[in-house]
Amino acid sequence: MLQKISTLFYIVLATTSAVTASEKNQKFEAKVQQIMATHQLPGLAVGHIKGGELIYSNTFGYREVETETPLDENTVMYGASLTKFMFATYVMQLAEEGKIDIDVSIAQQLPKPLPAYERFADLHGDERWKQLTLRVLLSHFTGFPNYRFFPPTGGFDPNGKLEFLFDPGFRYGYSGEGYYIAQLVIEEALKMDTREEFKRRFFAPLGMARTDLIWQDRFRPNFAQGYTVDGVNEGHNMQSNARAAGSMDTTLSDYSSWVAAYIRGDLMKAESRAVQLQATLPITSRHQFPPWDTTPGTAHETAGLGAGVGVKVFKGPKGPGFFHGGHNEKTDNLLLCLVETEECVIFLMNTAKGHLVFPQLVEALLGQTGMPWSWHFSGQVD
């Protein structure tokens, strides 16, 4: 009799939990639909991971608005700078394997001086490049601009030269140029091809069949167009070169598998992950962009904002967290994780309106996290 009562209790408890989860999902989906209508979003993919398992995923809207073709979990979307966090994780694996040291000067790792490479010839005569380490490069403390063709004076200069805007290791300044150098160091020092290593270490073992660092024609039957904030179809970024700074195509299904593996501890030892998620230095800037803006901020004090290896870290009411985005004029992506609860949310969107959407949706799924939204979106938060 007691066994029957106990069994009945657990059935009722499981049913109640399922109903509660279902009601929460329905409420969340209604909120997404309302936000998408309000802000005229083309498409959005959402994943929620807990304890290394994908507990919720859904897609909303269209991968191509003009034909009203729905977005789905296998739609190839442009990952943009989400590539950076994956590359940094790859470097941490190499460090764990004893193949590379992230804290020695790259001058000791490259077979020739950095300015001897044509891409970095602008640095001839400036010995500060010897102060660069992989940790500095991957944590955005290089002193470089994001890209040389976006000068501090503003605008776009196709002939812009690469130069230090401030000394390496001095302050945070988001830099894709730093990731170009980090990729060069790994490939030159270890003779290991980044794309092939991603395939061997991540894509193949995790079944990420629709993810790559360069565009593949097999993606054509199901890929997302990218739309500007004004709704103009600007197409899809079909990259022809594997770039650690950002060239990855992926899907909600594939990327969720990778994030789940990261949270489970399948990709590296706990000690290595702790190093990656430890702040190299506090981030004292008011906003993430423009990276050369020296206006002081307070997020390092109020939210514990700092730069880990390939990821930003913070502290909130639910403990420490980390995040990384992926953005261009027609793309907005976000990965945000809470360390203690082992929860992550993933958003992949084919337009650049994350500032209007992500804060509300993160709160709906995770509650108050303490994420420094104003810093991340440079003050543009709805």
Give exposure, 341-370, as e/b (b: 16+ Cβ within 10 Å): ebbbbbbbbbbbbbbbbbbebbebbbeebb
pLDDT for res 8: 42
| Interval 281-296 mean pLDDT | 93
Mean pLDDT of all residues belonging to the chain:
95
Give residue 382's pLDDT: 61
pLDDT on residue 9:
41
DSSP track, 71-122:
P-TT-BEEEETHHHHHHHHHHHHHHHTTS--TTSBGGGTSSS-GGGSGGGGG
Q: pLDDT tens digits for 100-150?
A: 999 999 999 999 999 999 999 999 999 999 999 999 999 999 999 999 999
**What does the alpha-carbon distance between residue 348 and residue 238 come to, in Å, rounded to a whole number?**
17
Residue 286 has pLDDT above 70, yes or no: yes
Token couple for 318: 């639910």
Task: Identify whether 290 is preceded by a cis peptide bond (ω within 30 of 0).
Answer: yes
Residues 220, 187: Cα–Cα separation, whole Å: 30
Q: Listing from the earlier edge strand, what are the strands of the sheet with 319-328?
A: 69-70, 53-64, 43-50, 343-349, 331-338, 319-328, 312-316, 306-307, 281-282
Helix (H) or strand (E) holding 255: helix 252-264
pLDDT of 12 = 40
DSSP 143-157: ---SSTTS-TTSS--
Mean pLDDT to the nearest integer, 324-330: 98
pLDDT band for 16, please (50, 70, 90 cuts): very low
Is pLDDT above 90 for 292? Answer: no
Is 21 a residue whose pLDDT tops 80?
A: no
Q: Indicate if the pLDDT at residue 13 is higher than 50.
A: no
Separation between Cα atoms, residue 280 and residue 192, nearest integer Å = 26
Name the maximum alpha-carbon separation found in the chain: 85
Q: What percent of the chain has pLDDT over 70?
A: 95
Model confidence at 3, in pLDDT bands (50, 70, 90)?
low
pLDDT in tens, 169-203: 999 999 999 999 999 999 999 999 999 999 999 99
- Give 63-93 pLDDT, tens digit per residue: 999 999 999 999 999 999 999 999 999 999 9
Cβ proximity of 85 and 268 under 8 Å: no
Calculate what percentage of the chain has a pLDDT beyond 90: 90
- Model pLDDT, residue 209: 98
Provide mean pLDDT across the span 247-270: 99
Give the pLDDT confidence of 211-233 residue by residue, as tens digits: 999 999 999 999 999 999 999 99
Q: Which residues of 103-138 are buried (b: 16+ CB within 10 A; e: fewer)?
A: eeebeebbeeebbeeeebeebeeeeebebbbbbbbb
**The pLDDT value given to residue 154:** 82
Strands (E), the chain: 43-50, 53-64, 69-70, 77-80, 226-227, 233-235, 248-250, 281-282, 306-307, 312-316, 319-328, 331-338, 343-349
Query: Exposed, middle or buried, 23 (CB in 10 Å: 0-12/13-18/19+)?
Result: exposed
Read off the tokens for 182: 């980090």
Residues 39-48 have pLDDT tens digits of: 999 999 999 9
The whole-number pLDDT of residue 293 equals: 87
Q: How many CA atoms, within 13 angstroms, populate the side-chain half-sphere of residue 227?
A: 23
> In a 3-state reduction of DSSP, which class is residue 245?
coil
The model's pTM: 0.94
In the predicted structure, residue 18 carries a pLDDT above the cut 80: no
Q: What is the C-alpha separation between 64 and 78, in angstroms, rounded?
A: 14
All structural domains of the chain: 40-376 (3.40.710.10)
